[in-house]
Amino acid sequence: MSSSLPSRRLRVPAAMTDADAAAGAPPAVDSPQVIHATSVAIDGRGVLLRGPSGCGKSELALCLVDAGARLIADDVSLVWADRLGAVVGGPPQQHGRLSLADLGLLELPAVGSAPLALVVDLVPGGGAAANRPASDWGEPHTVHIAGLDIPSFVADPNLPSTPAKIRALLRWAPPPGAAASGGP
């Protein structure tokens, strides 16, 4: 496996520092889109982990928090558009709480919201199980949420490398406004 960067890069919103992130509930918005997803902030960028109940959203979020991410919301995330792009937050009553079947309710480091940078659709078996052709693997895709196109990819929640892949995608993303690279 090559260690070179992907040939095409994702464009994601600028990072939000911990000082910028809301310490509590997300700001009041008129009509956020409610999504069955767990969300975390990695270096101030929001990541939405979508998938059916029991697929491993909370387990993956725990792994990401263990590696330095901050929890935004568990199981129910709110997404809305603001003047800078999409933002992900969570219901105030969930702030900092992650529920795991075997451990119960955990209190974790959390932020109230973050610019939404990436959507990860969790599918056991990854892209192949999601009916994405092998030629599409690693290619950027987008999903339409809260009226905006957000970079996305399909990941297998059961692979130990999935948290590292998520962090790598965010690390390799060019700064906002930079042109996507067509070459290596």
Q: Please, are residues 10 and 172 in contact by the beta-carbon 8 Å criterion? A: yes
pLDDT digits (tens, 9 = 90+) for 2-31: 333 332 232 333 333 344 344 444 455 567
Q: Where are the domains of the chain?
A: 33-172
Cα three-residue angle 142-161-113, rounded to 5 degrees: 50
pLDDT tens for 140-162 read 688 899 888 888 888 889 899 99
How far, in Å, CA of 12 to CA of 117, rounded?
A: 5
Q: Which residues lie across from 36 on neighbouring strands?
A: 76
Torsion, Cα of 39, 11, 172, 76 (10° steps): 10
CATH architecture for residues 33-172 = 3-Layer(aba) Sandwich (3.40)
pLDDT > 60? residue 122:
yes
